[in-house]
Amino acid sequence: MSALAAIVRRELAAYFATPIAYVFIAVFVALAGVFTFQVGNFFNRGMADLMPLFLYLPWLLLVLAPAVAMRLWAEERARGTIELLLTLPLATWQAVVAKWLAGWLFLGIGLMATWGLWITVNWLGEPDNGVIALGYLAAWMTGGVLLAAGAAASALTRNQVIAFVLAAAICFVLMSAATPLVQEALGALLPAWLAEALAAASALSHFSSVAQGVISAADVLYWVSMTAFWLFVNVLVVEWKKAA
């Protein structure tokens, strides 16, 4: 357990080792503000809430999660330090979970940085803070699913740009599989049962229901099971690359 915690601390510190993390968070916060107040027509709606933010936040996560995940394994391979990591006294699944957990905490820090928007809407009116809290929870849990998928993509290559592209493609399918446009395209390319299965695995539908203040056991089960599935895929890829 101490080795796992050490990897989490190491990975989390690595994000802030350069100014890139701070710039990245600043850009994310700025975009969240633009989508909330400008694109979301906050002042024209006459309602003090963060629904405009939660309307666009899944699509911001579609960029944020792959960007956070791309370095998790690709950087280890590029630097040749993955062998050293895998010789530590912990199982492969523990290393995978530790790296994912560090990235998930970084995502949480990015989301926390937007809490100025929450303070602003409370200053301007009387929003339902319970709904806003559930929206942030949905964003963090959905980000965890996308991050796990992105980490699995990162384990496939040593090139971070390729890792980002692969992760973004997987996350796009996960996010948008239930939308009518994508369902029509998938229906033309895939068997009906597979298209329906992908629609059921869509992160957007679960995010949207919780962001509106309604959470169910199905949403929690989705987040837990999908995260576990992609972490399992990540373990398989790392083991496969280690044996190759």
pLDDT of residue 29: 92
pLDDT of residue 229: 96
List pLDDT tens digits, range 44-70.
777 778 888 898 998 899 999 999 999
C-alpha dist (Å) from residue 51 to 37, 47, 230: 11, 9, 29
Check pLDDT > 70 for residue 1.
Answer: no
Give the pLDDT band (50/70/90) at residue 98: very high
Domain that holds residue 144: 2-243
pLDDT of residue 233: 96
Structural domain tally of the chain?
1
List pLDDT tens digits, range 143-192.
999 999 999 999 999 899 999 999 999 999 888 877 777 777 777 777 77
C-alpha dist (Å) from residue 244 to 95, 97, 231, 239, 240: 19, 22, 20, 9, 6
Spatial neighbors of 35 by CB under 8 A, at least 6 apart, are 52, 53, 55, 56, 57, 60
Average confidence (pLDDT) over 201-208 = 84
Check pLDDT > 80 for residue 83.
Answer: no
* Of 25-29, 125-129, 190-194, the least confident: 190-194
